[in-house]
Amino acid sequence: MLTPPLLSVENLTIAFPGKTGDSIVVDGVSFALNRGETVGVVGESGSGKSMTALSILRLIPEPGRVTGGTIALDGESILALTEKALRRVRGGRIAMIFQDPMTSLNPVFTIGEQIAEAVRLHRAEEGLTGKAAWDEAVNALRRVHIAEPERRAKQFPHELSGGMRQRVMIAMALACRPDVLLADEPTTALDVTVQAQILSLIRELQREIGMAVLLITHDLAVVAETCDRVIVLYAGKVMEMADAQSLFDDPKHPYTQGLLASLPENAPQGATRLTYIKGQPPTNPGKITGCPFRARCPKVIPGVCEKPLPTVQLEPGRMIRCHLFTESGNTEASHAER
């Protein structure tokens, strides 16, 4: 009997109201996250990566809302939880490292107080209250390689550098030993050495407690090094999903190919400029019929790519949404149009 996934997202749709109707920013996204697994989410800015992560904790900024789909943790619907039940999940079972630490930390409390508060809320049954919670907060800062953690714990967010604030957010997320970690660009403000230390710490905690990680990043090198599977988002849609090695060795979707070709190490020999994907992502992809990438795609098929976008299962665990794999005579691929 197959073990059910720890976190399951099915046909998730997120929209923001506008003067001419809803603007769909996430459109039919589906994926599963298993215990101990790291899944990378990649794509250009505006592809729906952060909105997907925020929806899991019901933190989509108003007036945005989930208009379709389901989100389940251990089979229990997150969208159906009461606010009281949701508070136990947030920071406890599911923790998130936000993209901007300065706006995520409270400026009027010390960083030690903020971490200790999270520990008291979610680990009180372990006896971590009062001074024990404070000591755990200091230890959390030490684990993310902040020097003089006892002194730093008494400082306020504005007294720390951007990189140190980012490490504080990581310490706060990991201090509660969550089942799921949503990491939105967790190492952006960190130098390469500290980045490696943080990623090593996350892997260590995964081995220790079976934590699952959803890693959102623009750094494809980090994805290649740390992720088991990869989800490629474009205009709010999953365009390709595969295990990391297969995706990097043999990318199928033209968009995925474009992302990988833009890496400096993949530049043609003797090239003086980096390769890039021409054009810009659509501003309201929900109003586009057919493939939203077709205006930028070097392999577009006129008269075909305007049709509803197919979902093609290339092999177990590997999915692509592209007309090339239904019009090229690939009879082994089973597909269903949405």
pLDDT at 337 over 60: no
Q: Which residue has the higher pLDDT, 294 or 271?
A: 294
- pLDDT tens digits for range 94-103: 999 987 777 7
Asked if pLDDT for residue 1 goes beyond 90, the answer is no
Break the chain into its structural domains and give their ranges: 94-177
- pLDDT at 255 (0 to 100): 97
Instruction: Give the CA angle between residues 24, 28, 34 to the nearest 5°.
Output: 130
Domain 94-177, what fold? Rossmann fold (3.40.50)
The pTM of this model reads 0.90
**DSSP letters along 48-100, please?**
SHHHHHHHHTT-PPTT-EEEEEEEEETTEESTT--HHHHHHHBTTTEEEE-S-
User: What does the alpha-carbon distance between residue 68 and residue 236 come to, in Å, rounded to a whole number?
Assistant: 13
CA–CA dist 43, 233 (Å, integer): 5
45: CB partners within 8 A, 6+ apart: 218
Tell me the backbone φ, ψ of residue 12, rounded to 5 degrees: -70, 130
**Residue 16: per-residue pLDDT:** 94
